[in-house]
Amino acid sequence: MAAGDGAYTPGDGPMAGVLAGMPEVVERLLAQHVPDRLGRCTACRNAGSGVVWPCTLHQIATRAEVLRTRQGQRPRSGAQPW
Based on CB atoms, which residue is closest to Zn ion, 7 or 63?
Answer: 63
Given a contact cutoff of 8 angstroms between Cβ atoms, the answer to whether 41 and 53 are in contact is: yes
Query: Does 19 help bind Zn ion (rule: CB under 5 A)?
Result: no
Using the contact rule CB under 5 A, the part of the chain among 2-10, 37-45, 59-67, 69-77 near Zn ion is 37-45
Based on CB atoms, which residue is closest to Zn ion, 56 or 80?
Answer: 56
Based on CB atoms, which residue is closest to Zn ion, 2 or 38?
Answer: 38
Contacts of 38 (CB under 8 A, 6+ apart): 50
Q: Find, among 60, 67, 4, 73, the residue nearest to 30 by Cα.
A: 60
